Structure 1
Amino acid sequence: GKDVKRFKPGDHVGVGCMVDSCQKCSACEEGHEQYCAEIATFTYNHVDRHDKMPTYGGYSEKIVVSDKFVLKVPDGLDLKGAAPLLCAGITTWSPLRHWKAGKGSKVAVIGLGGLGHMALKLANALGADVTLFTRSAGKEQDARRLGAHNVVLSTNKGQMASVQGRFDLIIDTVPYVHDLNHYLPTLTINGTLVLLGYVGDLESMLSTVPLVMGRRSVAGSVIGGIAETQEMLDFCGKHGITSDVEVIKIQDINKAYERMLKSDVKYRFVIDMASLKAT
């Protein structure tokens, strides 16, 4: 309404993974609404803290949301490619910024999917030396196109041995259980491996030897606060960064879901909401 001063009709704006938070806990006051002590109100499959109605996220034609949780999409960014920045983009940007990736730092990314391809683009644009860990040799060409300077086959013992003690930061985007012990020795002293893709119990048991003997760390991260998300969008606008997407009709959502389970997408599906009118 009339009290909104930050936006005007016709602006290109976006709403990310959150539409609200308590806005009074220490996390919210520090700009980390994603870690709200009372749990943020998420944009999809959640319950609004005011009217108790469900949130429908990207399946909505319209959304009413506090202007505090609305983000300005920079002019010139392709809107289709900008949409996933509000999820995959900020999920990878937040740890890159928190652990100060940039010129002179060495960053590795585990996994080349929706998160991984954004991590490569952003880490490269920040000036870091970027490496992709992958189990598939066939991904090297795409990895280099997206910003990787080096590609290491994690199934090749010789290649893994060649990067021991190399990385300041490892961004782990793998969404299923996997052995972290394989990657910890590749961290430098004080290096950190950050889990983004997997939520749950770890298997195999984590060995503390490389942690204790190199002051290495294993951490986790999830999306980012509103200010940080705007920072990421502004950075992407300056550097012309968007997600690689495939636009689909809403009628094809089930097929797209099946393809996503098979990793058959480069690298994010985006729904053409105009197709709703055809249902």
Structure 2
Amino acid sequence: MSINVRGYAAHSSTSPLGLFGFVRRDPRPDDVVIDILYCGVCHSDIHHARNDWGGATYPLVPGHEIVGRVTQVGTNVSRFKAGDLVGVGCLVDSCQRCRACGRGLEQYCESGKTLTYDDVDPHDGMPTYGGYSERIVVTEKFVLKMPDGLDAAAAAPLLCAGITSWSPLRHWNVGPGSSVAVVGLGGLGHMALKLAKALGAEVTLFTRSPGKEADARRLGADHIVLSTEEAQMAGVANRFDLIIDTVPYVHDINPYVPTLATGGTLVLVGYLGPLEPMLNSAPLVMNRKAVAGSLIGGIAETQEMLDFCGQHSIVCDVEVIRIQDINEAFERMLRSDVKYRFVIELASLKGWV
């Protein structure tokens, strides 16, 4: 039978999120039913709710950094059982047939991946609703095993902020001897520092804000460079094998290119859109440098990241909130007033009318 669920939804691009009742699909033989314990609040939740990227469909229930406990499994499910602590990230399905899916890169599915929210289930045409809700139904392949020993609330943002940082670190083979820089110290940036350091890299934070040094060093930075100081930027010329740029809005990336080593790459993980001012290709061509992009990770890579975090006791720095405070949290995020991720405790929905 269908599952009645309560959550918080945006009903338009300008309305605050509010209580919303809806129906989850009848569980299929390969489905896992999950009671949601915690859901991280990602910057992209705001973009979707406010239709910053266009194409949003309302009502819209955000949330794709989900940790919960299994309550029911379908007859074909073999990897999970009731009581298991599990995670769900940004994807709940993909075609499983294209070249990208065959390589474990479901995030780049060529036939159209299915997002955890603000999307349409290709099997039944139902809208997908995210983790700002009591429970969720997800096909087994897109459910992740949460490691033992990690705080469940602090682990929730690993399902987006963690994997978004981890995927480029792994793709560009970061390890001992690598020199990595991170641009921006927010939800993504603080995870990039932690993960790069744990992989054995020498880690630098680029920031425009003096006063972040102590926090950056606590999170794993060996060096801090003020990107507004010309002398400091000149002092790190030709140094970095990889720069992870986590800034979520349009900004000038040209000043960072000279700090790349020959053959180095600057990878954008926070901003989607045209670059302004225009990217100067001359230093790329003359020194075989690159500017690239990266989007979350596939399911196998996400599980690898979670297991690594379990082995190294890595979680996000979080502030746990009630779901009733989500609109205030959105406003605080826009002011960068959080260190470094809000996480909703879904128990706050119980008894709420």
TM-score of the pair, normalised by structure 1: 0.99
Match of 1:171 in 2: 244
Q: Map 1:1-279 to 2 at 5 A.
A: 1-277=74-350, 278-279=352-353
SS of 1:132's equivalent?
strand
**Same amino acid, percent of matched pairs:** 73
Distance 1:182 1:269 in 2: 31
Match of 2:29 in 1: none
Distance 1:86 1:64 in 2: 17
Q: CA deviation at 1:60?
A: 2.3
Distance 1:271 1:51 in 2: 29
Distance 1:39 1:90 in 2: 20
Distance 2:162 2:93 in 1: 20
Distance 2:335 2:185 in 1: 13
Distance 1:193 1:215 in 2: 12
Relative to its length, the structure with more strand (as a share) is 2
Query: 1:229-279 deviations in whole A, cap 9, x for unaligned?
Result: 000000000000001111111110100000000010111111110111223
State the aligned residue count.
279
Q: CA deviation at 1:59?
A: 1.4
Query: 1:176-214 deviations in whole A, cap 9, x for unaligned?
Result: 111111100000000000000000000111111110111
SS of 1:68's equivalent?
helix
SS of 2:135's equivalent?
coil
Distance 2:127 2:214 in 1: 43
Distance 1:28 1:91 in 2: 18
Counterpart AA for 1:80: A
Counterpart AA for 2:213: E
Q: CA deviation at 1:5?
A: 1.1
Q: CA deviation at 1:127?
A: 0.2
Distance 2:235 2:325 in 1: 44
Counterpart AA for 2:176: K
SS of 2:274's equivalent?
coil
SS of 2:326's equivalent?
helix
The CA RMSD measured in Å over matched residues stands at 0.7
Q: CA deviation at 1:30?
A: 0.5
Distance 1:52 1:60 in 2: 20
Counterpart AA for 2:322: K
Query: 1:28-63 deviations in whole A, cap 9, x for unaligned?
Result: 011000000122101011111112111111112111
Distance 1:201 1:39 in 2: 23
Counterpart AA for 2:226: L
TM-score of the pair, normalised by structure 2: 0.78
SS of 1:51's equivalent?
coil
Query: 1:110-157 deviations in whole A, cap 9, x for unaligned?
Result: 000000000000000000000000001111111000000000000001
Q: CA deviation at 1:2?
A: 2.7
SS of 2:137's equivalent?
coil
Counterpart AA for 1:184: V
Relative to its length, the structure with more helix (as a share) is 1
Counterpart AA for 1:63: I
Distance 1:129 1:76 in 2: 27
Distance 1:260 1:54 in 2: 27
